[in-house]
Amino acid sequence: MTEILAVDEMLQKLQGFDPLRRVLLATPGTLQGTLSAYFGRPIDIEMSSQRRDGSTIERVVDLVLRDEGTVACHAESRVVVDDEQFLKLVLEKRIGLGRIAQLLHRETSFLLETAHQNEDSFTRSYRLAGEGFAFHIDEEFPAVLYPEARS
């Protein structure tokens, strides 16, 4: 279960975004499943880099459409982990950070810090935290894959 912190503030930051983009930007840490549902096919995590310094891990990943290689989202994360079980899964480099929290049945809190859009992309920065871990994640979505739907 994820608690979304500062819901009114989050909704204020998402004004001006169309409904689909609001859903993506407000998704609290399990984006891989949301993107799989949107595209109707699996989304894989492709690790570009991961560097560990004590309990802090910096990682760069792309969420890509399986069998196509199209990048649906680019993410850069700073992770602080104080839990061995959680750390082990992060270091395996196989699944997304939000999915790890879900697999371990960890209650989390989600705080959307920023959301921006331009012609080419839309972005968000957020924090996801729970017992034994805290993430700061910056994500960028290519606008061409998520056409705006305005009524």
Q: Find the mean pLDDT for residues 59-78.
A: 95
Please give the Cα distance from 57 to 75 (Å, whole number): 14
Question: Within a domain: residue 28?
Answer: yes
Please give the Cα distance from 109 to 127 (Å, whole number): 8
* Ramachandran category for residue 6: left, alpha or beta (phi over 0 → left; psi -120 to 50 → alpha): left
Question: Within a domain: residue 151?
Answer: no
Per-residue model confidence as pLDDT tens digits over 52-65: 998 899 999 999 99
Q: Give the DSSP H/E element, type plus range, for residue 97.
A: helix 97-103
Per-residue model confidence as pLDDT tens digits over 99-146: 888 888 888 999 999 999 999 999 999 999 999 999 999 999 999 999
The number of CA neighbours under 13 Å toward the Cβ of 21 is 26
Question: Within a domain: residue 150?
Answer: no
Question: Within a domain: residue 15?
Answer: yes
Question: Within a domain: residue 136?
Answer: yes
Query: How many domains are contained in the chain?
Result: 1
Task: Tell me which residue range forms the domain holding 104.
Answer: 2-145
The pLDDT, as a whole number, for residue 1 is 64
* CB-based contact 24:34 (threshold 8 Å): yes
Question: Within a domain: residue 48?
Answer: yes
- What mean pLDDT is reported for the chain? 90
Q: Which residue has the tokens 């839309």?
A: 122
Q: Identify the CATH number of the domain in which residue 64 sits.
A: 3.40.1410.10
